[in-house]
Structures are given as structure tokens and as C-alpha cells.
Structure 1
Amino acid sequence: MCVCVCKPGYDSSLTDAQWAVVEPLLPRTHPGLGGRPPVHSRRLVIDTISYVLVSGCAWRLAPRDLAPWATAYRVFAAWTADGTWARVHDVLRDRVRVREGRDPQPSAAILDSQSVRSSEGGEEIGCDAGKRVRGRKRHVLVDTLGLLLGVAVSSASVQDRPGARLLLAGIRARFPLLGLVWVDGGYVNSKDATLVRWAEENENIEIVAVPRNADVKGFQVLPRRWVVERTFGWLTRCRRLTRDYERKTAHAEAMIQFAMIRLMAARLADEHIEPHGPIETEAARRLAEDHND
């Protein structure tokens, strides 16, 4: 029998309503225990992983009134390996899309990458010469709501076009209706259109570049592409994701999926609170325009 432990009141912990959304989708037992009953509840383990994600602390620095860090890490690693995080994430994404009046199967998406510095060593560490970042690159595909359709973490030295192929390979098998992907100009140029041809021939997907206005200096809010930039903003609210602290790329991808699981669980529980300001106001206006298109 699982020992009952009072739920700590950390801001990173799931609320009762959020837990009610996530709990039915999780495996009933902890991995690696054999026939032994778990000592710590699944909810306490999830709250421990949430604390590490949101606070950005090392696993060993998780508070003692949460689950032992070794237990939480073992569960996180096992559920990464068996695809639990990906399955839970995909179920919640479909539910959010239906709730927003969308088909669970998206027909259009936005692709972009984000280079982040890594901590210490690990798999796939390289240098993004253009951004002068040593670490890893997150290749992300999102729908028009900003929800994650796919993520691939690679060395920062991997250029955008090979990273796009890595992410788009086999994507139509998962999303049969997907036919259009918006990208920035770095993925498509007049000298090299191999990505466009590859996507059309292998995945039957049209790649469309959203160009920058050359007359405007500095940051620009670009049509369609602002959606994926907002998703990166959602992710980096979690301090663990402001850098890449994971030694394995699979764990780096799982942390991103887990961050989106928390966000979508809050939305489905009617507890998601968006920050308010000029950027958020402009994003809401553009989202309404895109929805009406």
C-alpha cells in the first residue's frame, strides 16, 4: 500500500484539478519496483519532477518533503524510455485542440529552432557559430495554437535544414492532414531549396517561408512565426529549460514535453493564467486574426 503523504504547498505542484486531468493517463505503478508496492505516491513523484523543472534545481537538491530525488529521477527516466510522457502529452494536446474548436489533427504548423547553452557534458554538445552558443539546439514544430507537435534536440552545431528533416521525417504518419509548415528564411533560400523539395517529395508537405522586413531593425513580430516564439517563451518560464541541463537528449525532449503537459493540464482545469501586458495583448489579437482566417 502506498504511504499517504500530505501534498506540499509548492507553487510548482499540481493542483487537485490539474492532477485529476493527468492522473488517469499515467501508469498505475512506478517502474522498476517489481512486485513491491510503491512507498511514495505518483502525485508526490510528479510534484518532485515539477519542482525540478520549474525551479531549475539539481535533482539532488529537491526538498526532503517531496519524493526522494533518486525515486523521482528513476520514474522520469523510465517514463521517458517507454514513451509515457509523449503519450500523455499527445492525449492532452488533442483535448485542448478539441476544446478550442479545432480538429485534433492539425493541417498547418510552424517550425523553428532555439539554441541553448548546455551545462557540463552529455550527449550531442556542439557550437552554433551563428549565435555563438555552445550547447544544444531544440527543433520544435507547433500547431497554430502554439501546442507542441514534435520536438527533436540535437547538437547546436546541427544546422536548421538538417534539423528540420530530423523533425519532419515521418510526420505525416502521425498527422495525416498536415500539409503546410511555415518557417523563417533560414530554412529556405534561393541557392538551396533541397528542404522544400524533400518535404514535398517525401512528406507531401509545403514549406512556406515567412520573410523578415529588411527595413525594420531588431525584433519583429512576424505573421504565423510569432506563435512558435511564444511557445519558446512558455517553455523558458521553467528555469530548467532556460539552459539544457540534461545529459541525454531524450531527457531534454522529455522535459519539454513535461512542461507542456503542465501547461495543458492547467488549461483543461480552467486554471491557466496568462500574463497580461502589451506583448500578450498583441499575441491575443493576432491569434484571433489567425483563427478567423
Structure 2
Amino acid sequence: MCRCVCKPAYESSLTDGQWAVIEPLLPVRDPRRGGRPLRYPRRLVIDTILYVLRTGAAWRHVPHDLVPWDVAYRWFRCWSADGTWDRVHDRLRDAVRVAEGRDPQPSAAVLDSQTAHSHQGGEAIGYDAGKRTRGRKRHVLVDTCGLLLKAVVHSASVQERAGAKLVLAGITKAFPLLGLVWADAGYVNRVDAGLLAWARTHAGVDLQIVARNADVKGFQVLPRRWVVERTFAWLGRCRRLARDYERKPAHAEAMIKVAMIRLMAARLAGEDVEPQGPIETEAARRLDDELNHK
């Protein structure tokens, strides 16, 4: 039987509605205890992981009224290894798309990367000469709603074109209807446009470049490209993702999935947890403009 623990009221904790969405998708047994009943409630385990994700606290610094840090980390690590986070994330993404009147299988997507500082040791740590940053890159592919389709975390020293191949390789096996991917001009140049041909031949998608206006200085909100920028803004509200604190790239990818799981569970529960800032306001305006012109 699970130990009786009063649920703490932290801002990062799941609401009853969010838990009702996530609970049926989670394993009911501890994968490391030979199938024996759980010692701690799964909801409290998830709340502990979300506390680390949302606040940016170290695992060893979680409050004592949550589950012990080593228990929460063990579950996080095991569910990363056995694909639990992937399965829960994908089920929720499909449910959100259906709830918004869309086909579960996307036909178009947006590709981009983000370099994250890392002051920790670990695997695949490199230096991004363009951003002058030591750490890792998060390469993500999102649908036109900003929902995550695939995330690959790799060394910051890997160039954009090579990182794009890691994301797009085999993508049509998971998403057979996907035929169009938008990306920025950093993925091609006048000398080497081989990524476009590679995407058509090996990935089975048409990679289209959304170029910025050279006459405009500073930040620009580009058509289609703002979708993935908004996704990065969603992730950036989780302080654990403000930098890369993970020892393994697989755990960094899992943290991204957990952040999106929380956001999608809130949507399906009818709760609005999306941050309302300048990026989100502009994104909503542009989405309305695109829908009105269809």
C-alpha cells in the first residue's frame, strides 16, 4: 500500500483536473521493486519532479513533505529509460490536437534549436562558437500549434545542419502525414544547400526556409517561425530548463517532455496555465490573423 502522505500545496503541484488526465497513462507498479505495490503515491512522485522542473531546485533540495529526492530521481530516471515519458507525452499531444479539431497526425512542422548554458559536467558538453556558449543545444520540432513532435539534445558544438538531420531522420515513420517543415536561414547558406536535398531524399519532407528581412534590424517575428519561439518561451518558464543541469542528454530531453506534459494536461483539464507575456500576446494575434485569412 502507498504511504499516506498529505499533498502539499505548491504552485508546481498538479491540480486534481491535471492528475485525472495523467493518472490513467502512468504505470501502476514501481519498475525497480519487482512489481511490488508502490511505497509512495505516484501523484506525489510527479509533484516532486515538477517541483524540481518548475523551481530549478537541485534534487537534494526538494522539501521534506515531498517524496525523498532519491526516490523521485529514480522514478524520473526509470521512466526516461523505459519510454514512459515519451508515451504519456505522445498520448496527450494527440488528445490536445483532437480537442482542437485537428488530425492527430500533423502535416506541417517548424524546426529550430536553442543553446543552453551548462556549468555541470556530463555527456555531450561542447562549445557553440556562434553563441559563445558552453553547453548543449536543444533541437526541437513542433507542430503548427507549438506542441512538441520531437526533441533531440546534443552538444552545442554540433552545427545546425547536422543537428537538423538528427531530428528529421526517420521522422515520417512516426508522423506519416508530415510533408512540410519550416526552418530559419541558419540551416542553409549560399554555398551549401545540401540539407534541403537531404531532407527530401532521406527524411521525406520538404524543408522550407523562412528568411528574415535584411532591412529590419533587431528581433523580428517571422511568419510560421514564431510558433517554435513561443514553445521555447513556454519551456523557459521552467527554471530547470533555463540552463542545462542534466548529466545526460536523455534526461535533458525527458525534462522537456515533462514540461510539455504539464502544459497539455492543463489544457485538457480546461485550465489555462499558459504564461501571458509579450511573446504569447503577439503569437496569439498572429494566429488570429492567419486563421482569419484562411
Give TM-score scaled by structure 1 length: 0.98
Aligned to 2:168: 168
Residue 278 of structure 1, CA deviation: 4.4
Distance in 1 (CA, whole Å) between partners of 2:133 and 2:119 is 12
Aligned-CA RMSD value: 1.1
Q: Which runs of 5+ in 2 are unaligned?
A: none
Give matches, 1:156-195, under 5 Å.
Answer: 156-195=156-195
Aligned to 2:29: 29
The one-letter amino acid paired with 1:3 is R
Q: Do the aligned partners of 1:171 and 1:203 also contact (CA within 8 Å) in 2? A: yes
**Is residue 235 of structure 2 the alignment partner of residue 238 of structure 1?**
no
Aligned to 1:136: 136
3-state DSSP of counterpart to 1:111: strand
Q: Which runs of 5+ in 1 are unaligned?
A: none
Give matches, 1:222-233, under 5 Å.
Answer: 222-233=222-233
Residue 190 of structure 1, CA deviation: 2.2
3-state DSSP of counterpart to 1:140: strand
The one-letter amino acid paired with 1:212 is R
The one-letter amino acid paired with 2:229 is E
Aligned to 2:282: 282
**Is residue 212 of structure 2 the alignment partner of residue 205 of structure 1?**
no
3-state DSSP of counterpart to 1:114: strand
Aligned to 1:77: 77
1:26–1:35 CA distance, 2 compared to 1 (3 A): closer
Q: Do the aligned partners of 1:30 and 1:42 also contact (CA within 8 Å) in 2? A: no
The one-letter amino acid paired with 1:205 is V
1:248–1:277 CA distance, 2 compared to 1 (3 A): closer
Residue 286 of structure 1, CA deviation: 1.1
Residue 281 of structure 1, CA deviation: 2.7
Distance in 2 (CA, whole Å) between partners of 1:273 and 1:2 is 30
Same amino acid, percent of matched pairs = 71
Aligned to 1:95: 95
Distance in 1 (CA, whole Å) between partners of 2:278 and 2:56 is 27
The one-letter amino acid paired with 1:97 is R
Distance in 1 (CA, whole Å) between partners of 2:114 and 2:236 is 11
Q: Do the aligned partners of 2:2 and 2:37 also contact (CA within 8 Å) in 1? A: yes
Give matches, 1:33-112, under 5 Å.
Answer: 33-112=33-112
Q: Do the aligned partners of 2:107 and 2:179 also contact (CA within 8 Å) in 1? A: yes
Distance in 2 (CA, whole Å) between partners of 1:277 and 1:256 is 20
The one-letter amino acid paired with 2:185 is G
The alignment of Structure 1 onto Structure 2 pairs a total of residues equal to: 293
Residue 277 of structure 1, CA deviation: 4.8
